Amino acid sequence: MWLFLAFVLVPIIEIGLFIQVGGLIGLWPTLAIVLLTAMIGTYMVKSEGRGVLRDLQSSINRMEDPSEHLASGAMILFAGALLLTPGFFTDTMGILLLIPGVRAVVFNQIKAKMQDQRARGQSRGGFQSQTIVVDYEVLDENQPNARPSNTNEHGPSGWTRH
């Protein structure tokens, strides 16, 4: 449902903004702003992406959790797509995602939501780890007459290596 709303509302917002800005400053300045934001956005994505890649590599080298850096890289990639999409609303969202503090807030909100869903899923009987206790017998493979106690008169069950 959210994806459908995004595909419907974002173009409507962009069209409205193009009409408003174009009416205020004219066609050519409006188009120049759109091209300029795409160029600046491309540069910013490249520089921010390099910084996040460096941080990711150092966190892996220090054996730390790289999830925040991976999420930040994904947000930068998404910001690049938004900045290359013509429009004022998408450019604004893309530029916001290039700000490290904004990415940190978004990451923390996503992380909190995932932890909340995980907690709710476990309380409702979602996936939980289980321990299975089994009895087994170690056989000496060098003894030709050794048979496990769980075999029947037809031979081994097929579930064990013989």
Higher pLDDT, 126 or 139: 139
- As for how many domains the chain has, the answer is 1
- Specify if 46 maps to a domain: yes
Q: Are 98 and 48 spatial neighbours (Cβ–Cβ below 8 Å)?
A: yes
Residue 28 has pLDDT above 90, yes or no: yes
Mean pLDDT score, 141-160: 59
d(CA 18, CA 23): 8
pLDDT score for 124: 58
pLDDT score for 105: 95
Six token digits for residue 140 = 């000496």
- Specify if 54 maps to a domain: yes
- Specify if 104 maps to a domain: yes
Of 31-35, 128-132, 146-150, which gets the smallest average pLDDT?
146-150
pLDDT score for 158: 60
- Specify if 63 maps to a domain: yes
pLDDT score for 94: 92
Q: Quick one: pLDDT band at residue 129, thresholds 50, 70, 90? A: low
Higher pLDDT, 71 or 140: 71
User: 137's torsion region: left (phi>0), alpha (psi -120 to 50) or beta?
Assistant: beta
- Specify if 101 maps to a domain: yes
pLDDT score for 38: 84
- The SS3 assignment for 76 reads helix
Structural domain boundaries enclosing 75: 36-118
Q: What is the pLDDT of residues 64-110, one digit of tens each?
A: 988 899 999 999 999 988 988 889 999 999 999 999 999 999 999 99
